[in-house]
Structure formats: C-alpha cells, structure tokens
Amino acid sequence: MYDGLPSPSIAPIPTGWKPIVQLVPMNDSVPLQPPRLAIVGGGLAGMAAAVAALRRGLRVEMFESRRRLGGRAGSFIDPATGTTVDHCQHVAMGCCTNWADFCRRTGVEDCFSRHRRLHFISPVGQQTDFAASRWLPAPLHLAPGLLRLRYLSLAERLGIARSLWRLARTPAQALQGTVGDWLRQQRQSPRAIERFWSVVLVSALGETVDRASLGAARKVFVDGFLAARRAYEVLIPRVPLGEIYDRRLRQWLVDHGVQVHTGTRIRRIRGDGNRVTGIELPDGTHRPFDFVIAAVPWRRVGRLFDPSIRAALPTLDAVEQIESSAITAAHLWFDRPITGLPHAALIGRLSQWLFAHGQPPIEDSPSGHYYQVVISASGGLAGRDRDEVAAEVCDDLKAVFPAAADARLLHRRVVTHGEAVFSVRPGIERLRPPQQTPLANLALAGDWTATGWPATMEGAVRSGYLGV
C-alpha cells in the first residue's frame, strides 16, 4: 500500500530488516515527518499491521472500539470466581509461522507452551498419545502415530492413510465440493469420518465436514501434518489471552511509538472517491491520515466507509455473502482435578477438546480447578439450554475420566460465539478480497481477507503483514 516499498511478503519479515523509508528533509529547517497510518481495529490483524508498519518507519495510531486489544482472542473477568478467563481457548500449531514470527518480534513467545504429544481419549476412555516418530522424515513422521489409533479398525487406519496420500497429491485447484462428499466417495466409513477426519477438521476449520470445503481440508492436512516435522505441534497459552495481547502487546506497541486508542469506535473511514483522507472519531471530528488500514471483522467492514469510498471497493459486495460458524466454550470449575492431562481430544462426544488451566498438577485455588471444553461448529446447540449443555459436557468428562465421577462442579459458564469464525464453505476463496484495494492509501486486514488460511490467529497476522 505504501508506494516505493517492496511488495508485501507472506514470509516472516527477515531478521535485520531495516525500515526503508528514506526521508529527505526539504531543507534544514523543515524536517519531513514520516507518513501517518491509522489502523482501525485492535485484533491480531491490526496489531500485526502495526508491527509491520513500524518496521517501515510509519507513524502509527491504532483505534479499537473495545477497551481491550486482542479482538476475538481476548479475555474477560468471570464475576463469580474473579478469575480472568479467555472468551474461548485459542490454540496455534507449529505451522503458524507468521503468528510465531509476530510473537517473537513482540516478545510474547514465552507466553505459550509447546506440546509435541497430543492426547486422544476414545469413547470408552482409553488414552492414545499421538506424536511424531523420531526416525521418519516428513511426510511419514506421523504414520506410526496414525497406525496406533486403536479406536479405529486396522482397515480404517490404512484407508485413512491412503486417502490422506491421495488428498495431498491432488492439486488444490482441482478440489471441488465438501470434504464430507469426498470422504464418502473415498469409501471412508462413518466411524472413520467421526473418529478421525471430523476430530481434526472441525477444530481446525471451525466447520463440519459436511459443510467445509475439500480445499480447506487439504490445507489442514498438508500444512499442519504432512509438510514439516513440527507443523502438527500445538501451542497453548500459559496465561490468559488478555495478558498476552492486551497487556503485554499493548505495552510493546506503546514502547515502540504506537498511539493506542481503546474504547474508540471509528464511525467512518472518509475519502474523496480516489483516496482515503482520514477517519471520523466517535464525536464526529475528522482526523486526517496518509494511510488507513481497516482491520475490523467482515460483518462490520462494509459499513465503515463513506459512500464514495465504498463505491470504489466492489470486492466488499462478495464479503457480505461470507457465512459464519459458531464455537462454544464451556468453562467449568470443579472442586478437584479431573485429569492430569494438559489437554485432550475427546472422540465421538459433544465435548471435542478439553484444556486444563495451569500446568499439571493443577494448583489448588479458592475458585476450584478450572477446565475449558471447546465445541467447534456448534451451530446445532442454538436454542439449547446452557445448563443442559453443561450437563452433557460433564457427563462426557465423567464417562472418560474416572476422577471426574466424584468431582463436584462448583461453577460453570457456557458461552457460544455465534460469529466466531467465517465458514470455510466451498467457494469461500472467491469471496475473500485481497488486502490491497483500488485506493492506493487504503488496505484491508482481517482473518477473512485472502490469506489462504481459515479463520485463525495465523490468518489474521498474515493479513496484517500483507496489508502494509
């Protein structure tokens, strides 16, 4: 977006990269000021854009409507326990290279623990640990782990390996339709779909196999499991997301000269039809800027522009067709530990992933032992009573963790985020606009822009890097 700069690269900004803005004062008495950039939206996309813009020597101001930075990757204080809990557990994978670069640059990488061993719990409570072979190179490094999944028959395991191979070898552009239809064509059994394909894809894509595109599924398996030895590893925050993205990242941004305005909902991005001229603050005042990045969710972006600017952005018409998918988080406080595992995928149950907060063994706390259960693609829970959902989740835990049978639930909070992520339906890539716009001084950022990734922290960071 900034003329004269190298075209944005999706790879991490190389170490030692120097801002290349060459500012030559007109004369000794009038030093030229660096251009000013307004970033509207303080989620991961906006923050990544700020990091990239700083490296290009821009003066950055960030405007976020909420009081906290982090957007969907944020926390709140649970009034009953007084503890800071995340809106929903956020997990990254080893393949999230731009997100890792962003965390390293901003000094928050120590906030995450890396898990090389993933724990799967069969419907009858049998635990299988899944890890890369020490000896086999990618893409074969996970084959022994797959063959150990004893809650699938040997024929199912071999059939899965065959289909994975076929999927990886088919060029992405040749893949059409939903992954569910393709799996049935591949003669995958309903049990293999439920116990393997859905377990991986529903949590990675936030969508069911009957709705998710085959292309998105291929990306998960190729990038996340086959392409590199450590791509499948899981990174889990050690502290609440608010501590990472609101407190520490905000401090980093401020220390590096970014003016951060939280609690400031931008009414409009204004322009004259050819260029953006600035932004309209909540009180109606106009603040001029040289460049603007709109880093708001896809449901908000259309309304953010002056009609003259909106008319110059025809790609936003398609954005309005992007569907959303829900994710439910069940926050549970028990009177005792229910498992020593830090996380677990529960096979064939409503509860998909369990996360234990705090490193095991979990320390006693007055507010109990806190766990979070995540249910992705949870649109089917709409209309169900929260107590009923919590009860079914507790039944799941009791069925597979013996220690949960005697545990008393002290407190629970079930939160469904109806528009958690965009739905990776077939054809979604045609609806996602690039970060660059026809207006030279306006860019878009957000997980929903064209990054090739599903709605993830990695996608959001990529979009922010690409937007500058």
Ligand X SMILES: Cc1cc2nc3c(=O)[nH]c(=O)nc-3n(C[C@H](O)[C@H](O)[C@H](O)COP(=O)(O)OP(=O)(O)OC[C@H]3O[C@@H](n4cnc5c(N)ncnc54)[C@H](O)[C@@H]3O)c2cc1C
Partners of 324 in beta bridges: 422
Minimum distance of ligand X from residue 69's CB (angstroms):
7
345 binds ligand X (CB under 6 A): no
Give me the long-range contacts of 350-359 (CB less than 8 A, separation at least 24). Answer: 350/375, 350/389, 350/392, 350/393, 350/396, 351/375, 351/392, 351/393, 351/396, 351/397, 352/199, 352/202, 352/203, 352/376, 353/89, 353/91, 353/203, 354/397, 355/89, 355/236, 359/113, 359/238
H or E element, residue 426: none
Minimum distance of ligand X from residue 332's CB (angstroms):
16
Q: Please, which residue, 209 or 244, has the CB nearer to ligand X?
A: 244
Closest by Cα among 440, 435, 437 to 46: 435
Contacting ligand X (CB under 6 A), which of 163, 324, 378, 456?
456
72 binds ligand X (CB under 6 A): yes
H or E element, residue 61: strand 59-63
Minimum distance of ligand X from residue 396's CB (angstroms):
19
Contacting ligand X (CB under 6 A), which of 46, 94, 145, 237?
46
43 binds ligand X (CB under 6 A): yes
Q: Please, which residue, 62 or 407, has the CB nearer to ligand X?
A: 62
> HSE-up of 325 (CA within 13 Å, CB side)?
24
Q: Please, which residue, 87 or 195, has the CB nearer to ligand X?
A: 87
Interacting span for ligand X (CB under 6 A) from 85-93, 104-112, 148-156, 169-177: 85-93
Q: In what order do the strands lie in the sheet with 442-444?
A: 259-261, 59-63, 36-40, 291-294, 442-444
Minimum distance of ligand X from residue 358's CB (angstroms):
18
Omega before 137 within 30 of 0, i.e. cis: no
242 binds ligand X (CB under 6 A): no
Interacting span for ligand X (CB under 6 A) from 116-124, 153-161, 394-402, 457-465: 457-465
Q: Look at strands 59-63 and 36-40 and give their pairing.
A: parallel
447 binds ligand X (CB under 6 A): yes
Q: How far apart (Å, rounded) are the C-alpha atoms in residues 135 and 81? A: 47
90 binds ligand X (CB under 6 A): yes
Would you give the binding string for ligand X spanning residues 262-281, x where CB under 6 A is met? Answer: ---xx---------------
The number of beta carbons lying within 10 Å of the beta carbon of residue 261 is: 15
Minimum distance of ligand X from residue 435's CB (angstroms):
11
Q: How far apart (Å, rounded) are the C-alpha atoms in residues 59 and 37? A: 6
238 binds ligand X (CB under 6 A): no
Minimum distance of ligand X from residue 45's CB (angstroms):
3
DSSP 209: T
Minimum distance of ligand X from residue 286's CB (angstroms):
15
Q: Enumerate residues 297-336 that contact ligand X by CB under 6 A.
A: 297, 300, 304, 327
Residues of the shown chain interacting with ligand X in the complex, contacts defined by CB under 6 A: 40-46, 63-66, 71-73, 87-88, 90-92, 265-266, 295-297, 300, 304, 327, 417, 420-421, 446-447, 455-457, 459-460
